[in-house]
Amino acid sequence: MKKSIYLSVFLGLIMLSTAQAEDRLLNASYDIARELFQAINPAFVEAYAAETGKTVTIRQSHAGSSAQARAILQGLTADVVTFNQITDIHALVNAGWIAPDWQQRLPNASSPYYSLPAFLVRAGNPKGIKDWDDLVRADVSLVFPNPKTSGNGRYTYLAAWAFAQQQWPDDQAKIEDFIRRFVGNVQVFDTGGRGATTTFAERGIGDVLITFEAEVNLIRQLHGADRFTVIVPSRSVLAEFPVAVVDRVVARQNTQELAQRYLQYLYSPPAQEILAGFYYRVTDPQVSATHAKQFPSVELLRIEEVFGSWEAAQAHFSDTGSFEQALLAARRR
């Protein structure tokens, strides 16, 4: 008897989770984007209803974007992905879940918003930090997440490398020396952005925290705007936030149209306005003009252009890569 109750409840739950797929959408996103999509989704639902007369539900799943890619491969039925790592979309492309031409389907290489590694320093900037070359001074100590475990940390390392490479285009030895001093100045390597923030803001370790500009401003809001100052360097790397329809999932669930519209909505002025409110830089000319004061101008380099390809950039973090060598050299000192 108990078994049959169990079975019927169980089957009920399964049916519940597969019902009405056409007017529901699951967005698999990165872990710190919860509040962002909590703001965007109701706006989309309203706009969609006004246009089509249909009411839809947008569901959110948040975790590290690499974990999300793995979950989709295992059966998480995400109709769209909104990630913070292009390589995690590559994983889904390689497994055949997303078509290879995904970057051509939406404007700006399918990245509706972007950010860059920027600096957060103690109030009033006592160490006078202005740019990447200040970060390798002997009297400055740094905090950013470990590039081996964190995409955020990876962007930071690549941005420092890109800066050095523009400074000394033909001098590999100078670039490596710069990177060695940069890594040597790191006081704590946390595994993720969250841990690095705690180390810097709550434990008071380090002179500079390096993380995404969008995060840096959020941290000021949370831990006290008067305690920290944001510094945007002269040059940094472009951190894209790529979005894509998961073709294999939408084909099964019959949600192509809704998924496509949802991602297109992210480029619309109302959505771009919300994004700018979360300190993400946006592409809509009018919205970025109204928020110009919030975003100091900066020269942004593409990872693909500086390093050739994402794969070549990733090679810096292999066990024999430049990061590991800089770390060894820093420890020997």
Partner 1 sequence: MVHNARHQACPDNPWGRRLLIFSGVTLALVLIVAPLLAVFAQALSRGWAMYISNVTHPETLHAIQLTLLAAAIAVPVNTAFGVAAAWAITRFEFRGKRILQTAIDIPFAISPVVAGVMYLLLYGTSGWLGQWLYDHNVQLVFSVAAIVMVTVFVTSPFVARELIPFMQAQGREEEEASLTLGANGWQTFWHVTLPTIQWALIYGVILCNARAMGEFGAVAVVSGNIRGETNTLPLYVQQSFDDYNIAGAFAAASLLASLALLTLLLKTIAQARRDRL
> With CB under 8 A, what is the number of residues at the site for partner 1?
30
- Position among 43, 47, 62, 314 found at the interface with partner 1 (CB under 8 A): 62
Task: For the segment 96-155, give every residue that binds partner 1 (CB under 8 A).
Answer: none
CB-nearer residue toward partner 1: 93 or 109 = 93
- DSSP letter at 132 equals G
Phi and psi dihedrals of 193, rounded to 5?
A: -60, -35
DSSP string, 75-110: T---SEEE-S-HHHHHHHHHTTSS-TTGGGSSHHHH
CA distance 93 to 110: 14
Binding mask 243-272 for partner 1 (x = CB under 8 A): ---------x--------------------
The three-class DSSP label of residue 235 is strand
Task: For the segment 10-29, give every residue that binds partner 1 (CB under 8 A).
Answer: 10, 13-14, 16-18, 26
CB-nearer residue toward partner 1: 195 or 321 = 195
- Position among 9, 49, 225, 251 found at the interface with partner 1 (CB under 8 A): 9
Q: Give the CA distances from residue 1 to residues 4, 5, 6, 9, 12, in Å, rounded to whole numbers and listed in that order.
A: 5, 6, 9, 13, 17
CB-nearer residue toward partner 1: 43 or 218 = 218
- DSSP letter at 199 equals I
CB-nearer residue toward partner 1: 16 or 138 = 16
CB-nearer residue toward partner 1: 193 or 206 = 193
Length of the chain: 333
Q: Which residues contact 56 (CB under 8 A, 6 or more apart)?
A: 23, 24, 25, 45, 48, 49, 258
- Position among 90, 130, 174, 194 found at the interface with partner 1 (CB under 8 A): 194
- The CB-of-102 to partner 1 minimum distance in angstroms stands at 20
- The CB-of-202 to partner 1 minimum distance in angstroms stands at 10
* Among 7, 231, 219, 266, CA closest to 111: 266
Span interacting with partner 1, options 56-64, 261-269, 287-295, 320-328, rule CB under 8 A: 56-64
- Position among 39, 43, 71, 93 found at the interface with partner 1 (CB under 8 A): 71
Phi and psi dihedrals of 24, rounded to 5?
A: -125, 145
Which residue type occupies 8? S
CB-nearer residue toward partner 1: 34 or 302 = 34
> C-alpha 4: how far from its chain's center?
46
Cβ burial of 194 (10 Å; 0-12, 13-18, 19+) is: middle
Binding mask 209-228 for partner 1 (x = CB under 8 A): ---------x---x------
- Position among 51, 53, 75, 292 found at the interface with partner 1 (CB under 8 A): 75
- The answer to whether residue 43 forms part of the interface with partner 1 (CB under 8 A) is no
- The answer to whether residue 93 forms part of the interface with partner 1 (CB under 8 A) is no
- Position among 39, 43, 47, 61 found at the interface with partner 1 (CB under 8 A): 61
- The CB-of-72 to partner 1 minimum distance in angstroms stands at 9
- The answer to whether residue 35 forms part of the interface with partner 1 (CB under 8 A) is yes
Query: Would you tell me the crossing angle of helices 65-74 and 86-94 to the nearest 10 degrees?
Result: 20
Token reading at 90: 């590559």
- The answer to whether residue 327 forms part of the interface with partner 1 (CB under 8 A) is no
Helix (H) or strand (E) holding 224: none
- The answer to whether residue 177 forms part of the interface with partner 1 (CB under 8 A) is no
CA distance 225 to 47: 34
The residues binding partner 1 (CB under 8 A) are 2-3, 6, 9-10, 13-14, 16-18, 26, 31-32, 34-35, 59-63, 71, 73-77, 194, 218, 222, 252
